[in-house]
Structures are given as structure tokens and as C-alpha cells.
Structure 1
Amino acid sequence: MTETTLPDPAVHLSDARELAPDLLVVPDGGVPLVPNIGLIGGRDAVLVVETGMGPANARQVLAFAAEHARGRRLYLTTTHFHPEHAFGAGEFAGEATYLVNRAQAEDLRTRFGGYLEMFKGLGESVAHRLDGVAQPVPDLVYDQEHDLDLGGRVVRLRATGRAHSRGDQVVSVPDADVLFTGDLAEAGQFAIFPWFPPHDADVSGTRWLAVLRGLAERAPRMVVPGHGEIGGPGLLADVRDYLELLRDETWARRDSAMSEETIIEEVSALMIERHPEWAGREWIAKGVGCLCSEHPA
């Protein structure tokens, strides 16, 4: 995408829909750099999942959550540190308890400045959204897993380990059988590989595939992806199958001493042929580059 084609990454709260009692999703509306945002309520508290890009979006999400909570305590979590998911958390300071896993907290501490500058370079609409953004500082940091009791409803936060980023986590609501995946899964687009060596090479295609295999085996009733339409367990299977095919086709060509440029050309053509309706074709090359650097365990 070029600067002239990037729309304003604005969250539209009027599109919120209820997936289960006291469990809402504000969908991304198909707009790039807008995440699916969740509100999960219990008797005593409400958990917000994701903030949207920058302070203005986050303030709207916070106000929406406070209105929905009607006096209940507020919590915030983010599935990973990338700007459209977490670069609004500073607006929740003093209003909500922000909790993430330890690896994500480290990502927020060390990656904030670099990603802020990179995203500001994506275009005026994005830079405007990030104007005045504060570096997020979590209130509560857990290691691998945390069960958050909202009062009559427990939400499970689980760090997955390095995959799309170092600090990915999934958020599950067992009583509703709903899973928030962040960018571990997208609907209707190719997997987003943030492969930008030497500045950022934390994404791991092999680890990502292992995580998706585990998630797909759980087969949750409803899956809220980082971006795209809400789906069922088939969404996770689609991403798993894509990552597996991307790995196999990349490695087969790499092992035959083919140049990376040729691998990208051939694998991209194959993936587009398989999924001509998917968006984000530019991420195929990033995925190939990442997988060319990896080897079987």
C-alpha cells in the first residue's frame, strides 16, 4: 500500500456486535491497520482487548468500555505490541489495569520507538493517528499464563511464545468458547510476516505454524482474528494449512539452491493461485524471506 491509498485507520464503535452475553466485538470494517477489538464482561469487571491505533481511537474505545461497564472495574490487554493493537494503551492509564505477558512487555519497552517511526512513515493518515502517542507501560505482567476473574466469568490469557512476534498471546473466554488470536490468525488475507531484518527478525514461521496447529486442534466455536471477519474453527485450519504450504514450498526450493528472488516469485504465484481472493499479497514475500532463514527443529 502506498501513502495515497491508506485510509484513515479509525475505529467505528457503532459497528459493535454481541457474540455472547456481555461479550462484544468492534469489527475492523475491512480497514487496514484497524484491529478487531473485544469487550468481555463479568459481574465485577470488563476486559478490553486491543486499543486501536493511537490516542484518539483509544480514548473512544475507553469511553465506550466505561459506558458498557457501568461502574465495573476495567482491565485492558493487547494480543501483541504492534501499533494498531497496543499504541493506545497509554490512554487507559489510571482508568484500567493493563496486563500483558512478560515478552510483550519487553517488546513494548524496546520496540516502541522503532515501530512508531516506521508506522509514521506509512502515510499522513497513520502519522496523524500516532501524534502524541505515549509509550505503553503495563500495570501487571505475567510469565506464561494468567486467569483473569471478572466475576462469574474467567478469561484465560496465554502467551504462545515467539510466532508473529515475541510476545504474542491469545485470549480465550471458555464459557462462550470464543478465542481472540491477534495477528496469529487473519481472515481473508495472507499471514502478516513482520520480517524486517536486521531491525526486526523476531517473527518465526516454524514456531507460528506450531502455535496454529495447537490452536486449530482446540477448535473453538468462534474465532476473533486480528483482522478480518469473525469465523469458526475453520479459520484457524486455513491459516495453519497456508503456513504449512508456505513452509514446504519455500524449503523445497531453498534446498534445491534456488535464489531467494526466484523462490519468492514462484511461491507467490502459487499462493495467489490457491487464494486469489485473499488480500495482503505483499506479505507472501516476507513470509518466504523469514522461512528461508529457518531450519527444521
Structure 2
Amino acid sequence: MPFEPLTHEPAVDPAQAREIARDVVVIPNLGVDLVPNIGVIGGSHSVLVVDTGLGPRNAEKVLAFAAEHARGRRLYLTTTHFHPEHAFGAQVFADEATYLVNSAQAADLVHKGPGYLEMFRGLGTPVARALDGVDFVTPDVVYDDEYDLDLGGRVVRLAATGRAHSKGDQVVTVPDAGVLFTGDLVETGQFSIFPWFPPYDTDVSGPRWIEVLGRLAAAGPDLVVPGHGDVSGRRILTDVREYLELLRDETWKRRDSALPEESIAAEVEALMIERHPEWEGRDWIAKGVGCFCADHSGHEAAGTGEAAEGASA
């Protein structure tokens, strides 16, 4: 979610799709802002689409690609979280696919979806055009913690992670292929996206995010499909976790000083850019500092609760 208005169309390009494992296809975002990596996962009788692209027109392209790939197999749709470029095309699939999400994400769509729609419409004419006609649909299947989806000779696991990048984050694992779709829990080539917009949205949790990435890395996937950026090996999970830990530590080191938050953010941003000069999305560093400052204000007292929440996710 960039801060400057976009001047280009955030267009999904199915012509660039590539197979990363047997019957696991990724339509890559190719570094285009507000275009996610989209997955198409096949079994003998069904195909699962992961994320829709921004708005109905992108989703129509994704649906057409998935239907051609499916060749008569049943279609399912899931979304990694409720943010517009990942989920705001679900309506296009309404009569063609069964839509599955976790309960926290379903609640995010209801309570936060309209506000994010208005916010994103302010990101420039191309974005507003892509979001024209968005309608929110009720998922067909809502689960709480985990859901095993049988595609025929292949079971794909949908799992709610608990609060991290958002309250409703979900990962999608293809165990027989060693592939993990993370949504915006992981990006490659850019600083982690912190949707820290007080007072409107403060659900992102840096400490919980770090815990989630530790669990995902321990599962040992072979390939990781991030929300944005190149498909990578499992090391990316550790790289992102280590970045978040450094961001946390440098922020908390300064949190109780007399420095105002703006000065803390400037100092930490300089350190992070020095460490990762090639990464995009530098504006997200200050958002992360704000998030960690808020978490630190009660992190010792809340530590037991955070640990319990992580254990139940």
C-alpha cells in the first residue's frame, strides 16, 4: 500500500504465469505496486485460487486463467488476508467457485473492508478505476483455525496464523510440493508492510508477527510464495523475521528515551536502510517503529498473554 498516488494500472498479468511445482502455478506480481502474487493449485478434481488481485477487472483475468487451467475441475477461492489487492475481487468468483476463509479474516472483511475501499480509492485514478464496482461477498465456508481442502490426490492446508500483519492472516500450504503461500507476512526485496494507521487500524502486531514467522520457518517449506516479490526458498522466512527483530530491538532501545517518536523513526529508518539499501518500501519502516513503540508500552505486562495467543494460533 503505497503512500504516493499510483500513476500506473495495478494490473495482474496471467500471461506471465509459471509453474513452480507440479500443478502449482504462480501469477507473479513482477514488482508492480498493488499487484500480489496469485496462486493456482491443482488436484485431480479441483483447483484452488489464492488471492484475486485488485478489484473486479483483475479478478476476471484471474478467474479466466484459473478456469482454463482447471479444464472442468471444480474451483475454489481463498484469500490470504482482507487487504484490497488480495481479496477485493472475490465477487467475480461468486457463481464459479467456493470461497473459503478463516473466521478472523471474514470479520475483517465485514468491519474493515469498506474503510479500506475508501482509503485505497484515494491512491490515484488507476487504483480507483480498478476498484470500481467492488462489492463485498460472504464467504461460502468459514473455519476457525485450520482447514484441509482435498483437491483430489492432493490436500492443501489453510491455516489462520493469528494476529500479525492483520488479525485475519492465513497461510496456504501444499505439503506434497513443499510450497507455502504467506500473503503479506513475507515480502521479498522490500521492507515489511505495517498497516499501522492509528486510530483507524492498529491490529498489526510486530511481536506476534515475529512469533508466526518462527513457526513457519520451523515447518521447513521448500518454496515460499510471498505476498509481493520473487518466489524464494525457506531462508526468506528467517530473513524477514531477523529484520523484524532488528526493527523491534532498535525501536525498543530508544523507546524510553526522551526522543519523540519521529526522531526514533528517523534514526531507526537510517539503520534499516543501511542494512538493506536495495529494499523497496522505505516508508513502511516508520510505520513499523510506530507499531513497536505501541507494543513496547505494555509488552512486559502483556508478555504472558501474547505467548498464550501465539500458542493457540
Instruction: Please state which band the TM-score falls in when normalised by the shorter chain.
Output: over 0.9
Cα pair 1:78 1:85 within 8 Å, conserved: yes
Equivalent residue, structure 1, for 2:167: 166
Query: What per-residue deviation string (whole Å, max 9, x for no partner) do you get for residues 60-100 of structure 1?
Result: 11111111111110000000000000000011001000000
Equivalent residue, structure 2, for 1:2: 4
Task: Output the TM-score relative to the length of structure 2.
Answer: 0.93
Deviation at 1:40, TM superposition (A): 0.3
Equivalent residue, structure 2, for 1:102: 103
1-structure distance, mates of 2:262, 2:137:
38
Q: What amino acid sits opposite 2:71 in the alignment?
A: R
Cα pair 1:81 1:167 within 8 Å, conserved: yes
Deviation at 1:213, TM superposition (A): 1.1
Q: Does 1:75 align with 2:95?
A: no
2-structure distance, mates of 1:255, 1:238:
27
2-structure distance, mates of 1:115, 1:136:
15
Query: What per-residue deviation string (whole Å, max 9, x for no partner) do you get for residues 135-193 of structure 1?
Result: 13211000000000000000000000000000000000000000000000000000000
Q: What amino acid sits opposite 1:224 in the alignment?
A: V
Equivalent residue, structure 1, for 2:146: 145
1:109-258 superposed matches below 5 A? 109-258=110-259
Q: What amino acid sits opposite 1:138 in the alignment?
A: P
Secondary structure at the aligned position of 1:293 is classed as helix
2-structure distance, mates of 1:137, 1:270:
44
Cα pair 1:216 1:240 within 8 Å, conserved: no
1-structure distance, mates of 2:192, 2:26:
21
Equivalent residue, structure 1, for 2:32: 31
Q: CA RMSD in A?
A: 0.8
Deviates more, 1:212-221 or 1:198-207: 212-221
Secondary structure at the aligned position of 1:29 is classed as coil
What percentage of aligned pairs have identical amino acids?
Answer: 69
Structure 1 stretches (4+) deviating beyond 2 angstroms?
255-258
Cα pair 1:6 1:32 within 8 Å, conserved: no
2-structure distance, mates of 1:102, 1:257:
41
Task: Output the TM-score relative to the length of structure 1.
Answer: 0.98
2-structure distance, mates of 1:28, 1:163:
22
Query: What per-residue deviation string (whole Å, max 9, x for no partner) do you get for residues 1-54 of structure 1?
Result: 522x54210000000000111110000011000000000000010000000000
Equivalent residue, structure 1, for 2:294: 293
Secondary structure at the aligned position of 2:193 is classed as coil
Deviation at 1:256, TM superposition (A): 2.6
1-structure distance, mates of 2:157, 2:4:
38
Deviation at 1:204, TM superposition (A): 0.5
Q: What amino acid sits opposite 2:214 in the alignment?
A: R
Q: What amino acid sits opposite 2:181 in the alignment?
A: F
Q: What amino acid sits opposite 1:57 in the alignment?
A: N
Secondary structure at the aligned position of 2:295 is classed as coil
Q: What amino acid sits opposite 2:87 in the alignment?
A: A
Q: What amino acid sits opposite 1:253 in the alignment?
A: R
Deviation at 1:258, TM superposition (A): 2.4
Q: What amino acid sits opposite 1:2 in the alignment?
A: E
1-structure distance, mates of 2:144, 2:177:
25
Secondary structure at the aligned position of 1:258 is classed as coil
Deviation at 1:293, TM superposition (A): 0.3
Deviation at 1:262, TM superposition (A): 1.1
2-structure distance, mates of 1:257, 1:150:
57
Q: What amino acid sits opposite 2:19 in the alignment?
A: E
* Number of aligned positions between the proteins: 296
Query: What per-residue deviation string (whole Å, max 9, x for no partner) do you get for residues 199-222 of structure 1?
Result: 111101111111011112222100
Equivalent residue, structure 1, for 2:308: none
Q: Does 1:59 align with 2:60?
A: yes
Unaligned regions of 5+ residues in structure 2, if any?
304-313
Deviates more, 1:185-194 or 1:134-143: 134-143
Equivalent residue, structure 2, for 1:92: 93
Deviates more, 1:254-263 or 1:186-195: 254-263
2-structure distance, mates of 1:73, 1:284:
42
Cα pair 1:80 1:169 within 8 Å, conserved: yes
Equivalent residue, structure 2, for 1:40: 41
2-structure distance, mates of 1:114, 1:46:
31
